[in-house]
Structure 1
């Protein structure tokens, strides 16, 4: 073989090995039902505790350590926000609104992760212009006033955001991302160093970049999963899943100034998310209709607000 092609093949092999070698492939007889679980038309990856590679995951990010770390970080963030006057008081109508929505959503979280029934749920609101919200492991939720005010969110749209963020915690995406980042980082470093020594050329940058792109791919997949699981939870709780479409249309208006390139973004594009939600509306709308005790064809059209620029 020509030396150039030999080296090129070696580089490609190392990149693939660096990005995939950290996870042992399941045996052929274990592959059925390992790739996804379908609940009422929504396909998700099984929680890693039931998959090959869970031993590495528990070493890299044990559940108890992740939950404890999340609790400490959340407490520190709320304490700092209170000191700086950024923690909205519990008596504020917006805080009460968020907590009322959460109380309806929380009972429907257990079907996606049984551990959620032991979580110590918290919901707080922070004064910030940032358009953001999050849910840490263990059910610790925070909204920023910016996302409510700038998007003029309805209760259904707040439920879509809250369900999405809760879904990340339920499906253990943060823990998985931490484990995958650790694993791919280690694999790419080892693979890159070994290949560099053999070729006499430093290719660690290529293998590290490949590892980073793999982690980004996982993140985009997690965002897609969280969109659907979150709307499933919201719909079962009596919130209109069509709010997810309105939400991303509002986000599109807000982001008209420019968006990151899809390949290098940890989030799918808004149009892609809307298309996925629309494709699952035949699954989501019946859940919402059932919560309201009416047939799907008797549901009124969804009404939203116009996002402010």
Structure 2
């Protein structure tokens, strides 16, 4: 299985900043040490033209040239720097590369070791998200699929970060070619939610059994509404529903999250839907716990990819 990483491009943050930037380097190291079936490649940067498939040119220019306002930088949560721009582009590029591998190269499953920046809107960033990697990659895959004269490509976004994918919902609003599913904390960020195609709001303290039942029902409703399976899926496998997470407010165990991943990959495999996986959020009180949750997600992704290719998943 192929995975794409941008962890070499470190975003410089001031001392005491709450974003756990080190988790990407630690995840890369954990995958390299324990999952030899995953080949890690450096992420390419997304171009202006690729970003413009989901973002307004004025926003791309402001980010690139460093003319974002103080208020815009506060909404993102990161100070501007050239390194921030490069890393944001490569985070998008990694999801593009994973989607191409899954869809066009026949891999079936591929991953971004970061990504899932679902709070970014077409015209602004928000919540540690500068550009929306899944939105850009979905639109680009649709364009490339069309250029190959294969007709239209329908896309499914399965967003299981604990925070609602408001930016993705807004970008894909009224777009019948992209179905957005979001399971998230009802009282968590963002305060003002957008309308996904299917939103499932979960109460504070939601634990494994309640969460997995809600996931099963949501997937069944998704298949019912879609009718025929879409041609490509993006899975935002946030670690932040975990009980250890500083920003999660839910109470899922590590095993509950592993079961979540198994059910998502099984549902996609049963319908032969290629999937690009992104890590999305994870803000554990112990960063090692977050890294292990995401490493296990990639372990399940590797098993799904081997099954797709007809190999033994073990």
Shorter-chain TM-score: what band? under 0.3
Q: Which structure is higher in helix share? A: 1
Structure 1 length normalisation: TM-score?
A: 0.27
Q: Which structure is higher in strand share? A: 2
Structure 2 length normalisation: TM-score?
A: 0.27
Q: Higher Cα Rg: structure 1 or 2?
A: 1
